Structure 1
């Protein structure tokens, strides 16, 4: 064991000496320091340092990796590292120690300062992140040696949520791919084995096909006078798994399980090779991506195409220059070898903008949960790059809106935002931005953010940083103002869905964290809970209470009729009770009847969440009615009524009629229909009535919705259309 460790150390020194004349001396000192404190930690340090030589990191970073484990365990003090190895190495170790000891899954109030210091260390020196990634990959490779399964799974989840996205953000893909595969092996072992077995089953056949493709393509490149290096490219199990999930296809339907990579000298050669590939084999439709013309947000560039290769089997071909490949494999670390080049330094600096965002963010946030959530949603998600009117680049997570952009530019711009221009065109504030968009925010004089921006259902904001700034603004307005505004907001929402006389003392019981109506109102006013979510929950409770009241009244009526001495027992029947397990019937559970067709009644247009009852029709199965439907209340045949309930996995859509009142302006109906289209709502019919004298319009629209919550969301959106005065559900 000792000889093996010495051999590994000697090999590491040789690699370093070949690149840095004095680097081997510094790393040797680091090893001696680590070994004096903890021999096992020193051996692990050799493994981590060796990984980093492939990334061409400088000697201080390699020395930091050598002593990091001993520093984390406390056997070596930071001061001793600084004295022996220099301030640069000490600073890297301090940052790595903060990253490695952070428990991301259970941040508490007193973790705020630790998180803040860690963010500062990461943003100040990207080597901190790269060393931390190497340590985590080394530990993930040895994860199976840990006996505690729960701890293994915790580490794997943390790696998948924090470390792999960090590697992706830095563009260090070979670290990202291996981390993801190791996480999948621990978290989904059956899926990992299944995909691995499927890959292994036809490995010989696949390797033969790749060899044939390489030989054929190499010959054509030589004929064309293009110097190119072609090699097979391994596919990673996690990427196959994610593609199967994303496209909802089986392993057999994945086109790019087999792949080759072509490295050429120039960008024109890339496109020339693409033409040769498409001339040799049939390209597969929809499987071409030009990441050279439109690089990925992390800077990755390449041409990707899928073709029907030799033997009729699908094959992915990646084409890029050697420089693109270097960055594609090593990301920002690829620039370390060329850091003496000012151009390369500026290029690397451009890739670190997201790290510097952490400095601004950590100054504003006090809640550590918000910090971690921001990392996951704002920093680690796939990004889009958009431009300010002045040409500055702003990166935001995919799905970000104009409001997210406004708050990223400046908090005050976000607070005063009233509109947006994207590529010169006015767009709604919930417009999702795309890479390359030029965005200009229209502002008002006074800050006045909307509480609607905090509603996840309305989709105005997706970034944690913007959401935090909006909440902070409302908190500064005072509790009394929040109570008034929260109450007004909730009552306005309830009126939309037909609740004109709210019973707030009863509603507050639905929300465990709020003891009084005022507490609930202030939570809405401060933006801690979305108005639409509260309204949807209240609507569900109202429907359930109405159902209970109807049943109680019906039971009392039947009891009175049965005991009456003036007439024979009334032969009316109550709704049938369950005689067997409920059977799914088109979105509802029908009790007492198995396999019966059902349909929503047109007279009252029930939607999931409404209190409902079934009516057995002649020839059309069961009609689903709202319990307060006039036709049900006056039914001459109560024996046809049957108990039903909405199914748990209901995915059907149900018709509901909404009434919209507004000004009679050009384009009103078009703008309303656009809201329906944006929300994926189908419209089965509309009726428009105008009053020229009053210049008003009334629109009745029959929509197909899947739930009360969706109905609340669409009514809220409609009322934000210019010219719309009110939008309500038509009473049953």
Structure 2
């Protein structure tokens, strides 16, 4: 299918559910995106415009969104990947569309301390965008869905990384928005790359039994159809097999075989009214034997994402258990498309964003204040992905909590004051422990006291919801500042001792500001308080400081060696002066020119010599000297920009340039630097390490960074005997697959 045909297909899809859409603007967005992405290719080799078109098709076909969403989907990568700007998109289309596009665009590449920090910032940005306009996340999910559908063109490492991110972030958000169809597809595609063997085993098992399963579903569907027709209940019934990831979770987490999974088969009965839902439930329980404890009424108590349905598991006449879900047409729309169903009949985005102002999105943002990255992502998974339990207050009000919730979670869900004053709890009239796990339908009463001491430190471990953990953290932060500082200091000092780092290394006047910057706190007491109330951990604080301390120690060592060398120079000069006095009385012989660190300085003896860091010369390089103020002669390579003919001819420094040459008594090795530019790929660092090893190169350090356009730049600090050995190493690095350029930085 040509690009033009794909666009026409998109237009037809939009026309089928929204004939009043602004097709002129949709075409303008497509043409602008095509021009902006001209010349860009996807990993598959296809023109890049294929991707925005496919994302727009998902937004239209699967989610049935408005004109603005289609335009934003077509333009979603132009601000990030092309010279187009927010102002340009705003002027050509509308400020709303420009904001949608910017919201969908990923964060500008920032160097974060950990992968969790980067993920957390991306999540925060998405949640903030969601709270303003829910369409941002709907387009983002469509973008990720198409990327997952075309993941076979990526490297195995990228496949795993993106699949894990999809499983941990995008599938839970889809679930929380009630978009079950997309959630299932994202999970299945992720599983395919995260555990290809497990995925293949399930798919092949399902394929092998396809005939048998199809026959069973056809028989059961016919039985339900026949009985409902007899009773004159207007309905649609159809069956499906559980999707592979759902089967995988049950098989591997509960150690079950395919035959032991109760709801491998599910039937949906869609009716006209809520009354019919309960009538059909009676019919199903009359036809088949219900399995105790497997009935859920999500019509009476809907899920937080708006999902409503009756679920019951029954034993079929063939002895095969299966699930039946009963719902109205409207409930079915919301179950399949979630929040996107609200947009189905909207035209030109009227009322845009009103559905997006969800309380749970704001709550997710508020609950994470003061949390570190790992805790943030963990809480997000609990809040978004766990099944809910529905429990009641003694007055009959429903509270929904994450699965595994305890009375502590319930108390803080009512009010932070109730949680802070809690001294006990009753479940169904009986006193229970604080870590008692609540079940659906429990009636929970919290016992409070004005004299309560407040939450215990172990409550953070017992609480399951991020809301409760956040409120406990806030209490400790506010009420127990001195205690937090004391506890934090003790934990920090214990971790330092464990790592063999003396406290004086941390508190030294010249190192403390650098270390505090590394952990992002203004003072040690601030950091101790955060460790004390659980917003940060001693392990993380020490691990971040340790790397900085090692760098400072190396710097101090280098300074010490330089000072010792200078002192040795003075002693040598004093000895030389006395020997010259003694030699004055002796007859003159042939003059012996002494070199310093292998460098002969014309007209000067016993002169302090240092090698410039800008060009790191080694024996064999053409060199030139520069007389510094107080540091002797600095030696540069002749091709160094800092020693260019223009610089040497400058009137202010002309008299300070001096001729130097390599002597015969050079050192065993000299530090120098190489820069290696490569096309990024897996195993690159391993190959570079092997090249350094086979050439017996002494390595002082390796730094690497990746660029957005898939290049990797390595900076190698090595010790070399002379330029010949260096040339040999550079030739060896050039032979590595993907290496484009090996240079010696200068200037």
Same fold (TM over 0.5): yes
Deviation larger for 295-304 or 405-414: 405-414
Distance 1:83 1:365, change over 3 A: farther
TM-score by length of 1: 0.60
Is 1:262 the equivalent of 2:269?
Answer: yes
Query: What residue is the counterpart of 2:156 in the other structure?
Result: 149
What is the aligned counterpart of 1:360 among 366, 391, 413? Answer: 366
Shift of 1:152: 0.8
Shift of 1:176: 0.4
Shift of 1:435: 5.5
| Distance in 1, Cα, partners of 2:530 & 2:503 | 13
Is 1:4 the equivalent of 2:10?
Answer: no
Q: State how 1:236-275 maps to structure 2 within 5 Å.
A: 236-275=243-282
- Partners of 1:259 and 1:316 within 8 A in 2: yes
Is 1:88 the equivalent of 2:96?
Answer: yes
| Distance in 1, Cα, partners of 2:235 & 2:110 | 45
Q: State how 1:105-144 maps to structure 2 within 5 Å.
A: 106-107=114-115, 116-144=124-152
Matched positions, count? 505
Larger Rg: 2
Shift of 1:394: 5.7
- Partners of 1:407 and 1:414 within 8 A in 2: yes
What is the aligned counterpart of 2:81 among 73, 78, 88? Answer: 73
- Partners of 1:354 and 1:379 within 8 A in 2: no
Query: What residue is the counterpart of 1:25 in the other structure?
Result: 24
Query: What residue is the counterpart of 1:727 in the other structure?
Result: none
Deviation larger for 390-399 or 153-162: 390-399
SS at match of 1:233: strand
What is the aligned counterpart of 1:451 among 451, 454, 457? Answer: 457
Query: What residue is the counterpart of 1:16 in the other structure?
Result: 14
SS at match of 1:259: strand
Shift of 1:322: 1.4
The Cα offsets for residues 638-685 of structure 1, whole Å up to 9 and x where unpaired, read as xxxxxxxxxxxxxxxxxxxxxxxxxxxxxxxxxxxxxxxxxxxxxxxx
The Cα offsets for residues 604-632 of structure 1, whole Å up to 9 and x where unpaired, read as xxxxxxxxxxxxxxxxxxxxxxxxxxxxx
| Distance in 2, Cα, partners of 1:319 & 1:28 | 41
- Partners of 1:123 and 1:359 within 8 A in 2: no
- Partners of 1:41 and 1:69 within 8 A in 2: no
SS at match of 2:84: coil
Q: State how 1:139-538 maps to structure 2 within 5 Å.
A: 139-146=147-154, 148-284=155-291, 287-309=294-316, 311-337=318-344, 352-361=358-367, 364-365=369-370, 367-384=372-389, 395-408=400-413, 414-419=419-424, 428-434=433-439, 442=448, 444=450, 448-454=454-460, 456=461, 459=462, 461-464=463-466, 466-471=468-473, 473-474=475-476, 481-482=483-484, 511-512=498-499, 526-528=532-534
Distance 1:432 1:216, change over 3 A: closer
Distance 1:44 1:476, change over 3 A: same
The Cα offsets for residues 351-403 of structure 1, whole Å up to 9 and x where unpaired, read as x32112134336x3374444333322334433345677999876542223343
Q: Which runs of 5+ in 1 are unaligned?
A: 491-503, 534-732
Distance 1:446 1:516, change over 3 A: farther
SS at match of 1:21: coil
| Distance in 2, Cα, partners of 1:75 & 1:261 | 49
CA RMSD of aligned residues (A): 4.3
The Cα offsets for residues 234-256 of structure 1, whole Å up to 9 and x where unpaired, read as 42001111122344311122233
| Distance in 2, Cα, partners of 1:416 & 1:172 | 39
- Partners of 2:167 and 2:186 within 8 A in 1: yes
| Distance in 1, Cα, partners of 2:257 & 2:227 | 34
Is 1:47 the equivalent of 2:49?
Answer: no
Shift of 1:60: 1.2
SS at match of 1:68: coil
TM-score by length of 2: 0.59
Distance 1:31 1:522, change over 3 A: closer
Q: State how 1:700-715 maps to structure 2 within 5 Å.
A: none
Query: What residue is the counterpart of 1:592 in the other structure?
Result: none
- Partners of 1:260 and 1:318 within 8 A in 2: yes
The Cα offsets for residues 232-286 of structure 1, whole Å up to 9 and x where unpaired, read as 3242001111122344311122233333322112233223333333433444555
Distance 1:27 1:273, change over 3 A: same
Q: Which runs of 5+ in 2 are unaligned?
A: 39-46, 507-523, 540-747
| Distance in 1, Cα, partners of 2:466 & 2:112 | 16
| Distance in 2, Cα, partners of 1:185 & 1:447 | 51
Query: What residue is the counterpart of 1:630 in the other structure?
Result: none
| Distance in 1, Cα, partners of 2:272 & 2:402 | 33
| Distance in 2, Cα, partners of 1:369 & 1:530 | 10
Shift of 1:51: 1.1
Query: What residue is the counterpart of 1:695 in the other structure?
Result: none
| Distance in 2, Cα, partners of 1:74 & 1:513 | 50
Distance 1:10 1:283, change over 3 A: same
SS at match of 2:13: helix
Distance 1:410 1:106, change over 3 A: farther
SS at match of 1:144: helix
SS at match of 1:260: strand
Distance 1:115 1:306, change over 3 A: closer
| Distance in 2, Cα, partners of 1:530 & 1:120 | 23
| Distance in 1, Cα, partners of 2:153 & 2:195 | 18
Distance 1:479 1:272, change over 3 A: closer
| Distance in 1, Cα, partners of 2:333 & 2:294 | 24
What is the aligned counterpart of 1:58 among 59, 66, 84? Answer: 66
| Distance in 2, Cα, partners of 1:287 & 1:347 | 36
Shift of 1:126: 1.4
Is 1:35 the equivalent of 2:41?
Answer: no
Shift of 1:213: 2.3
Shift of 1:319: 2.3
Distance 1:211 1:69, change over 3 A: same
| Distance in 2, Cα, partners of 1:246 & 1:213 | 29
The Cα offsets for residues 207-234 of structure 1, whole Å up to 9 and x where unpaired, read as 1222222223222221111111122324
